[in-house]
Amino acid sequence: MTPPIPDRYARQLVLPEVGEEGQARLAAAAVAIVGCGATGTVIANHLVRAGVGSIRIIDRDWVEGNNLQRQLLFDEKDAREQTPKAAAAERRIREVNGEIRVQGIVEDLNATNVDALLAGCHLVLDGSDNFEVRYLINDWCVREGLPWVYCGAVATYGMTLLIRPGVTPCLRCLFPEPPAPGTAATCDTAGVLGPAVGIIASQASVEALKWLLGHTDALAAGLIHVDAWETTWHVFEITRKSGCPCCERHEFPHLEEAAVSHATALCGRNSVQVTPARTARVDLEAAEERLRPVGPVSRTPHLLKLDLGELQLNLFPDGRAIIQGTDDESVARSLYSRYVGS
């Protein structure tokens, strides 16, 4: 921890909604941010500057040039070096506020590690880009009785909702099933306006701060929907879905699907992530030696890259791999099996 900076929170402390007592509450709080892309970087930036005492950032990906348009914690050096987003965010946050505890975790949140990665947090914030992770967070938080903030943005609009198990409807009341493939707008099909991300992620941060400060009476009364281009702002009341399998029947299938490995196409990347059934540490140095006869190999402390011409295999220490150059999950699985193993 660095020495405290005098008056760091002075403009916040004069707010009647915060004050000395509220600032102490923030300092004692621990939050997890799952995903550190467009929305996640904005949320992390706001919470660290507000003085939230412990911030855990979980992200599976690395920084690329096209991220810099909207992902506020990264710079050109991060993109050139393809630094893992969680590691880059941790470094930047330490430069912004050395008084807080920050942990960047370069892992893929899944059913095999969710208990360990989210344990001890008071609030979970969604900075992900897919519903698979959001349903996992929803199942875990409802099971644990822990609040979480859903947040998403695409094109010029975004949505956010603070979910309090036992008090409000859960995500599956709002979205009983994930969108069918090809039916939902994504960042690669619809694009994304940077300021729109900033607006909705900032509002998600406000809702998080309200809850952490104990001002539950001030929380939005439903799903906040903002379109930055159309200059519209709506709060939609959400009702609990009768017979909701998650928050009424307490069925948590997304916490139980750990028996097989899975492949997930990544938003706007022409890439597929392959995650093994069991998390296991990979010796990247040994893997580099084994794969060198296959093609050009490069390695950093965080990942190994194997160039296969039109395809590239990126192997992480937790056994996860991202196959670039295809959105075909069967091709990615085959490549993983051939060069990494089953």
Q: Which residue has the higher pLDDT, 6 or 80?
A: 80
pLDDT exceeds 70 at position 224: yes
Percent of the chain with pLDDT over 90: 70
Which CATH code is given to the segment(s) 259-339? 3.30.310.10
Q: What's the pLDDT band for 45 if we cut at 50, 70, 90? A: very high
Q: What's the pLDDT band for 188 if we cut at 50, 70, 90? A: low
Residues tagged active-site: 187
pLDDT exceeds 60 at position 342: no
Pairing of strands 297-299, 271-275: unpaired
Q: What is the pLDDT of residues 233-242, one digit of tens each?
A: 999 999 999 9
Residues near 39 by beta carbon (within 8 Å), at least 6 away in sequence:
126, 127, 151, 152, 153, 158, 197, 200, 201, 204
CA distance 258 to 282: 19
Q: What is the pLDDT of residue 259?
A: 43
CA distance 3 to 69: 33
Architecture per CATH, 10-236: 3-Layer(aba) Sandwich (3.40)
Q: What is the pLDDT of residues 120-170, one digit of tens each?
A: 999 999 999 888 889 999 999 999 999 999 999 999 999 999 999 999 999
Domain boundaries, the chain: 10-236, 259-339
Six token digits for residue 64: 């690329």
79-103: average pLDDT: 95
Q: Give the global pTM.
A: 0.83
